[in-house]
Structure 1
Amino acid sequence: MAYKTTATTKGGRDGRSSLEEGKLALAMALPKDLGGSGDGHNPEQLFALGWSACFGQAILVLAKKHGLDGQAAKVTCDVALNTTDGFSLAADIKVALPGADPAKLQALVEEAHQICPYSKATRGNIPVTVSIA
């Protein structure tokens, strides 16, 4: 194992979440769209943050192989919570890299989706679209 972290939440979606290391603690709140106050963060936001950062690192690792400079890449991850037929997630990842050849960028994004740990963890479990912007 290369790395491990631990988070604890008390109070669910209207509680408080913190990392064991003490470097981050967040008030959680049910989104207004779901009838909550929206005065805090929610798991979908945190998942989107983590996935966009992780996917961005995969872009950086692979960019040179594809003849691109990944430093300027911008990864946007939309995470949706669906409430029809129970609860489920869906994600849409868009990668923008100004001035990049679209074919090279598309190949890079597809390969990044294969190695990103978040992409691996969700593969076959939730609908995910990956595209270039």
Structure 2
Amino acid sequence: MKKIMVLMLLFAVTIGYSQEWKTDFTVAKSEASSQNKNILLVFSGSDWCGPCIKLDRDIWQSAEFKEFAKNNLVLERANFPKKKQNQLAPELKKINEELAEKYNKDGMFPLVVVLDKNGKVLGKTAYKNVSPQEYIDILKSFLK
């Protein structure tokens, strides 16, 4: 019985801190509009870009960011993996390329774009070697 309670607690904590990264911008915009939230669009090279991997590990996976995002953001990831085993479905690759054409013309990785619920750019940043709270403060500065 004790093991079951511990497992249930761990499951509840995991669910509470999970993030739902969208991969369809139309869905992200619709959700942002219905929830009156901004969109955090991240251009990432998940299997080749060192700063992208650090940003995910140090910021996106932090409890502070997860709590902030849950209340304020719809998360959208445009991933551009290079390794053959990580390649995306052609439709998703096309969606990401279209997003890059509109929001990341310079091809920067990682690029973090904060958008309003209609897709208007509020601010852009990249990886910074700062604490999660400092990174959240940077994101908040775009929302004022």
Short-chain TM bin: under 0.3
Question: With structure 1 as the length reference, what TM-score do the two structures score?
Answer: 0.26
Q: Which one has a larger percent strand, Structure 1 or Structure 2? A: 1
Q: Greater RCO between the two (CA within 8 Å, min separation 6)?
A: 2
